[in-house]
Amino acid sequence: MAVDCLTDKKVLIKGNYAIANAAVLAGCQCYFGYPITPQSEIGEFMSGKMQELGRAYVSAESELAAINMTIGACATGVKAMSSSSSCAVSLMQEALSYATSDQLPVVLVSVMRGGPGLGNIYPSQGDYFQATKGGGNGDYKLIVLAPSTVQECVDLTYKAFYLAQKYRNPTVLLADGLLGQMMEPVTFKPYPYPEIDNSDWALDGAKERDGRIIRSYAPLADNQCVFLERLYNKYKLIEENETEWEEKDTQGADIVLVSFGSTSRNVKTAAKILRLKGIKAGILRPVTLFPFPSKRLQELSNTVKKFVVVEVNMGQMVYDVKLAVNGKVPVELVHKPVGAPPSPEEIAKRIEELL
């Protein structure tokens, strides 16, 4: 069931509706999208709500059109977003690369399903690489936020809009079919972040000022070098300021289980099971996938004997954990190719086998 925007009452709501409702509350003025399971409820909600509020909703002719419309809207300085899933997010990669070089605060909600190719519509975490490493050309990063509960779908949608504006960088909310389709009680507090002044760059009509151009083109080699240095200084700043993770029972832990998104729910329970058996297991859950909590993992590698990465794909985030740990202690993978996450009991059992 969809709810009517702001309410301080607890409501039971689907992840997709929660995301859409939060986007509206975050002040999203334009939504552009093309339906695809398992995120179609986002567009469905927007199609009614945006019109009701006098904001823009466009059911685009394709995902390419939707993301490029989002770029156009963002260039005018308004908050704008698109949402899609896996194989259709693939179609948006070129535009995301452009949006990073145009430095536009595009917000994209990516609700992962099975891949590669058309794949299937079941939950998956197979687009970790797509979101964090990108399929577009050139050196760029997207800010990537990974909710693990429906409440976090709300909170991190707010944050996605804020960080996108603050750093003028495309930001992805990386959910999955399980989070999109499940219901859980949430509360919608008002958008908690300050509004960012964009009057120095937005294309809001050149009244009493010179015209501006936002472009992704530097014909002189040196200009591009300067631009990339500046872009990466920004990414450094994002890493310093915005890295977020959840950590539990890592002090004195022998093993730390690392997981993100919906899978981390089961991993938390698995850690409980292991601790009951006397195995000192802690958990670390990256909330931001870029910036990735590499520094913290590095610190932990001084005291921890082993890291186990649990994910629903063929092993993607495990590489970032390995990079962070840099060979200091073993990093193992427990995974399932696609579908709902493995049960806590199965995760615990497979981890015991690794010890």
Binding residues for another protein, rule: CB under 8 A, are 1, 10-12, 37-38, 120-122, 177-178, 181-185, 262, 265-266, 268-269, 272, 340-341, 343-344
In whole angstroms, the minimum distance from the beta carbon of 317 to another protein comes to: 20
Paired sense of beta strands 331-335 and 30-33, if any: unpaired
Q: Which helix (H) or strand (E) holds 160?
A: helix 150-167
Nearer of residues 92 and 111 to another protein, judged by Cβ: 111
In whole angstroms, the minimum distance from the beta carbon of 42 to another protein comes to: 15
Nearer of residues 183 and 214 to another protein, judged by Cβ: 183
CB-side neighbour CA atoms (13 Å) of 7: 14
In whole angstroms, the minimum distance from the beta carbon of 262 to another protein comes to: 7
Nearer of residues 182 and 202 to another protein, judged by Cβ: 182
Q: Could you tell me if 231 and 100 are in contact, meaning their C-beta atoms sit under 8 angstroms apart?
A: yes
Nearer of residues 130 and 262 to another protein, judged by Cβ: 262
User: Distance of CA 355 to CAs 240, 257, 316, 350, 352, Å?
Assistant: 34, 13, 22, 9, 5
Find the angle CA(334)-CA(336)-CA(342) to the nearest 5 degrees: 85
User: Distance of CA 70 to CAs 67, 129, 347, Å?
Assistant: 5, 22, 40
**Phi-psi category of 308—alpha, beta or left, where left has phi over 0 and alpha has psi -120 to 50?**
beta
In whole angstroms, the minimum distance from the beta carbon of 61 to another protein comes to: 25
In whole angstroms, the minimum distance from the beta carbon of 67 to another protein comes to: 26
Nearer of residues 187 and 326 to another protein, judged by Cβ: 187
Rounded CA separation 58/265 (Å): 35
Nearer of residues 78 and 121 to another protein, judged by Cβ: 121
In whole angstroms, the minimum distance from the beta carbon of 344 to another protein comes to: 6
Render 200-230 in DSSP notation, one character per residue.
TT--S--TTS----------SHHHHHHHHHH
User: Distance of CA 260 to CAs 34, 102, 146, 290, 310, Å?
Assistant: 27, 29, 7, 12, 8
Nearer of residues 183 and 228 to another protein, judged by Cβ: 183
Nearer of residues 151 and 301 to another protein, judged by Cβ: 151
Q: Which helix (H) or strand (E) holds 45?
A: helix 40-52
In whole angstroms, the minimum distance from the beta carbon of 32 to another protein comes to: 25
Q: Could you tell me if 167 and 104 are in contact, meaning their C-beta atoms sit under 8 angstroms apart?
A: no
Q: Could you tell me if 22 and 153 are in contact, meaning their C-beta atoms sit under 8 angstroms apart?
A: yes
In whole angstroms, the minimum distance from the beta carbon of 305 to another protein comes to: 26
In whole angstroms, the minimum distance from the beta carbon of 340 to another protein comes to: 4
Rounded CA separation 273/228 (Å): 47
Nearer of residues 74 and 178 to another protein, judged by Cβ: 178
Best CA proximity match to 334, nearest among 353, 324, 320: 353
